[in-house]
Chains A and B, each alone.
Chain A
Amino acid sequence: MNRSLRDGSVRILAPVVLGAVVVIAWQLLAGSGLVEAYLLPSPAAIGEQIVEFAPSMVSASGITGLNSLIGLIIGSVFGILLALLAVALRVIDWMVEPIVAALAVIPIVALAPVLNTMFGADSQFGRQAIAALASFVPVFINTVRGLRQTRPVHRDLMRAYAASGVQVMRTLTLPTAIPFVFTGIRLAASLAVISALVAEYFGGPRGGLGGLIATSAASSAYPRAWAYVVASIILGLAFFLVTLAIERWATGRRAPVPL
Chain B
Amino acid sequence: MIEKAPTRPADAVTVTGVDKVFSTGKGEVRALDGIDMTVSAGEFVSLIGPSGCGKSTLLRLIADLDEPTVGEIRVFGKAARRARVDQDYGIAFQQAALLPWRTVEDNIALPLELHKVGAAERRARVAELIELVGLGDFGEKYPDQLSGGMQQRVAIARALAEKPNLLLMDEPFGALDEMTREYLQTELLRISAETRAAVVFVTHSIPEAVYLSDRVVVMSPRPGRIDGIVPMQLGSPSSRSDDIREDAAYFEMITAVREVLHGGAPIPKGVETR
| Complex contact A171–B110 (CB within 8 A) | yes
| Interface set of B (CB-CB < 8 Å, partner A) | 60, 63-65, 84-85, 87, 89, 91, 93, 95, 97, 99-101, 110-111, 113-115, 142, 144
- Chain A window 126-154, contacts with chain B (Cβ cutoff 8 Å), 1 for yes, 0 for no: 00000000000000000000000001011
| Assembled-state Cα–Cα distance A160/B87 (Å) | 8
CA distance A36 to B97 in the complex (A): 65
Q: Which residue of A lies closest to B103 (CB)?
A: A253
Residue of A nearest to B168 (CB): A160
Rounded to whole Å, the gap between the CB of A167 and the closest CB of chain B is 6
Q: Which residues from 136 to 188 on chain A have a C-beta closer than 8 Å to any C-beta of chain B?
A: 151, 153-154, 156-157, 159-163, 167, 171-172, 175
Does A33 have its Cβ within 8 Å of any Cβ on chain B?
no
Cβ-defined partner of A161 (8 Å) among B93, B99, B111, B142: B111
- Contact (Cβ within 8 A) B100 A157: no
For the A-B complex with A156-B93, A156-B97, A171-B114 known, give 4 more contacts whose Cβ atoms are closer than 8 Å.
Answer: A151-B97, A154-B97, A159-B65, A162-B87
Looking at the assembled complex, report how far the CB atom of B76 sits from the nearest CB atom of chain A, in whole angstroms.
Answer: 15
B residues in contact with A162, CB < 8 Å = 84-85, 87
> Could you show 6 A-B contacts with beta carbons less than 8 Å apart?
A154-B97, A160-B89, A161-B87, A162-B85, A162-B87, A175-B101
Closest 5 CB pairs of A and B: A253-B142, A153-B97, A160-B91, A162-B85, A254-B100
Chain A residues positioned under 8 Å from B93 (CB to CB): 153, 156-157
The answer to whether B100 and A255 have CB atoms under 8 Å apart is yes
Does A98 sit at the interface, judged by CB under 8 A? no
The distance in angstroms between the C-alpha atoms of A157 and B142, with both chains bound, is: 19
B215 to chain A, nearest CB (A): 24
With a cutoff of 8 Å between Cβ atoms, the chain A residues found around residue B91 in the complex are 156-157, 160
The reply to whether the CB of A55 lies closer than 8 angstroms to some CB of chain B is no
Measured CA separation A254–B95 after assembly (Å): 17
Nearest opposing residue in chain A for B94, CB measure: A153
A163 with B100: CB separation less than 8 A = no
> A157 to B102, alpha carbons, bound, how many Å?
15
Bound: A154/B113 CA distance, A: 16
Closest-by-CB residue of B relative to A175 is B101
Nearest B-chain residue to A163, judged by Cβ:
B114
Is A252 on the interface with B (CB-CB < 8 A)?
Answer: yes
Specify which chain A residues have a CB less than 8 angstroms from the CB of B114 in the assembled complex.
161, 163, 167, 171
Which residues of chain A are near B85, meaning CB under 8 Å? 162
Q: Is B99 a contact partner of A154 (Cβ separation < 8 A)?
A: yes
Q: How far is the CA of A222 from the CA of B91 in the complex (A)?
A: 70
Query: Which A residues touch B111, using CB under 8 A?
Result: 161
In the complex, A252 Cα to B103 Cα: how many Å?
A: 12
Q: Of A156, A161, A162, A175, which is in contact with the most chain B CB atoms at under 10 Å from its CB? A: A161
Whole-angstrom CA separation of A255 from B100 in the bound complex: 8
In the complex, the answer to whether B63 meets A153 with C-beta atoms within 8 Å is no
- Please determine whether B101 and A252 come into contact, CB atoms closer than 8 angstroms: yes
Known: A167-B114, A255-B144. A160 touches B97 (CB 8 A): no
Min Cβ gap B91→A in Å is 5
| A153 close to B95 (CB less than 8 A) | yes
Instruction: For A159, give the chain B residue with the smallest CB separation.
Output: B65
- Does B115 contact A161, Cβ atoms closer than 8 Å? yes
Residue of chain B at shortest CB distance from A179: B101
Chain A residues contacting B87 (CB-CB under 8 Å) are 161-162
Minimum CB–CB distance from A140 to chain B (whole Å) comes to 23
A171 is contacted by which of B60, B99, B142, B144 (Cβ under 8 Å)? B99
In whole angstroms, how far apart are the Cα atoms of A254 and B103 in the complex?
11
Task: List, in ascending order, chain A residues with CB within 8 A of B113's CB.
Answer: 171
> Bound state CA distance, A256 and B65, in angstroms?
31
Chain B residues with CB under 8 A of A167: 114
> Once the chains are docked, how many angstroms separate the CA of A161 from the CA of B65?
10
Q: List chain A residues, Cβ under 8 A from B60.
A: 156
Question: Nearest residue in B to A254 (C-beta to C-beta)?
Answer: B100
Q: Which residue in B65, B95, B97, B101 is a CB contact (below 8 Å) of A253?
A: B101
- A249–B261 Cα distance when bound, in Å, is 52
B100's contact among A156, A161, A171, A253, by CB below 8 Å, is which? A253
Write the nearest CB–CB distance from A169 to chain B, whole angstroms: 12
Q: Tell me the bound Cα distance from A255 to B144 in angstroms.
A: 8
Q: In the bound complex, how far is the Cα of B100 from the Cα of A151, in angstroms? A: 12
| Complex alpha-carbon distance, A172 and B84, angstroms | 19
A161 to chain B: which residues have CB within 8 Å? 87, 110-111, 114-115
